[in-house]
Structure 1
């Protein structure tokens, strides 16, 4: 296939999708990619070096086999200084637990379907965020959301799948309140105690909950949510509103959209990035890079016709 892009595969070998990596090799050969650049890693932290190596070898299309954490690490490498001058298309083979980016974009959670999209789908330029020096495409959060992800470690997720989030969510409702000052696009927006601050590029977030039903991943803005719930009963009220699609009307939730979000906390909270646990911080400075990532998606699946959800600005 002389007109085909030079293909690279970065695979988290502990993640499973369909019949596994052996079947992926077979399917690529059947599609005319007999000798792709191929790297397997034992953990997502090992992927950036492989991404840079694939780029040096001339990769034009990068297939990522893994969950949201693996995808995030790869995208960060692509967006890093010295790499962003050459745009490489990305195809996701969602082999993780939540697969939030793939789910939000309509990418099938099966090997044959995902590979068809990765090789032949439309190319869309999606927004990317920066937070504490890292790039992300799904979400970033401090407080409740980060505790939920920290406690649902890889062992628990591998064993129980999404059910792991039910157990850890109950524990995370005990998250303490911390005072936060939040500026949106340079203007003061919120000053008070919070138990969670979430910034998202997509609508469906941790645990499969649709927190931002009007989110669009290529509109140059991220959705922002602040939760002031304290204790299990408050969180039950928030979750009920989520299930009913009325979270924006909850007195315990405040939302908006922004290009630049600056959160300052009066004490350290753990944070998460695209479902990956990170250390504690007192600062959450997020900036949006509009349409910085080229991703293969199902034809006409990315909803860029405008927001249908509720905004508060």
Structure 2
């Protein structure tokens, strides 16, 4: 006896409906498990639910009250107490707030802002063993991107910050001097520090444009500054010989990926105990074409040099624009950088 085509059609429709229902149930179940948490597994040493501290940028994060309520609700679903809320100020971008959070016994300190906020929090968390979580809300968010943490997705990044895997990474320390004879100012970086073209672009990009189109604003600003003269520098990598170059930019990195997934330093890892260095020396406007080609294809070219080191010292013939983790930091004529291996614990997807 054969089955009519109408019966087959009915069977196929029923099977399709059942498959959709099963898929929806699985998605809903996974979402409930993701945010329900199990309090018994996250109790701290005192038998209480743990508590995070959130160091939030006073300007970059919009609608603080709504974000705070959202974080409190999500924390509760994961078995955590409502977090301590600490806002940055113009005088203190996060260092003092982080030290207070550690002294008060926070189980994790969460940087809620851009790479500048992250850097300030990390400086005070270094060598404490207290993990840092990331709620990336800036323009670049390069550390988060390199660690696989989704920018501007609060629920996902908070889940990682509270329940993710601990990963210990390096920190870069840098000394920048305005002139060859002036005392240096000491800073830290987690992503990249540099002199020259990249820092100039970051310093001259209009904040209004960044707010409108995000990191693409850097591309717009960079296009107008491709023309420029090279600067003579002397450079010493570790204990090697002093070398001379004429450069447009030098970048010292702890991680290698830029916005858009571009690998400026393909071999850079945040926990390998090394700094990766790129020296860019194009001559004129057309000299940038092989630079872009070398970066995109990851091939060597005479205008793009790569180094790996634990320390590097650079002296320029004139002051150059400087940047730390994408934040302009004035000008400098001297840059000295060193790596501090495995100094910081960060929560990453796990």
User: How do 1:242-281 and structure 2 match up within 5 A?
Assistant: 242-246=295-299, 249-281=300-332
Q: In structure 2, what is the Cα distance between the partners aligned to 1:123 and 1:171?
A: 42
Q: Which residue of 15, 20, 26 maps to 2:60?
A: 15
Q: In structure 2, what is the Cα distance between the partners aligned to 1:217 and 1:95?
A: 21
Instruction: Calculate the TM-score normalised by the size of structure 1.
Output: 0.86
Q: In structure 2, what is the Cα distance between the partners aligned to 1:17 and 1:120?
A: 25
Partner of 2:169: 126
User: How do 1:100-249 and structure 2 match up within 5 A?
Assistant: 100-109=142-151, 110-132=153-175, 133-188=186-241, 190-205=243-258, 209-246=262-299, 249=300
Offset, 1:126: 0.3
Q: In structure 2, what is the Cα distance between the partners aligned to 1:273 and 1:72?
A: 9
CA contact (8 A) 1:261 1:287 kept: yes
Quote the RMSD (CA, aligned, Å). 2.1
Offset, 1:43: 5.6
- Which segments of 5 or more consecutive residues in structure 1 lack a partner in the other structure? 300-313
Q: How many residues align?
A: 292
| Rg comparison, structure with higher value | 2
Partner of 2:93: 46
- Which segments of 5 or more consecutive residues in structure 2 lack a partner in the other structure? 1-38, 176-185
Q: Which residue of 74, 77, 82 maps to 1:35?
A: 82
Q: In structure 2, what is the Cα distance between the partners aligned to 1:89 and 1:34?
A: 17
Moved more, 115-124 or 230-239: 230-239
What secondary structure does 1:216 align onto?
A: coil
Offset, 1:16: 4.5
CA contact (8 A) 2:125 2:132 kept: no
What secondary structure does 1:217 align onto?
A: coil
CA contact (8 A) 1:218 1:290 kept: yes
CA contact (8 A) 2:192 2:252 kept: yes
Partner of 1:78: 125
Q: In structure 1, what is the Cα distance between the partners aligned to 2:100 and 2:319?
A: 36
Structure with the higher fraction of residues in helix conformation: 2
Encode CA deviations 1:132-152: one digit per residue, 9 max, x unaligned.
211111000000110111122
What secondary structure does 1:32 align onto?
A: coil
Partner of 1:304: none
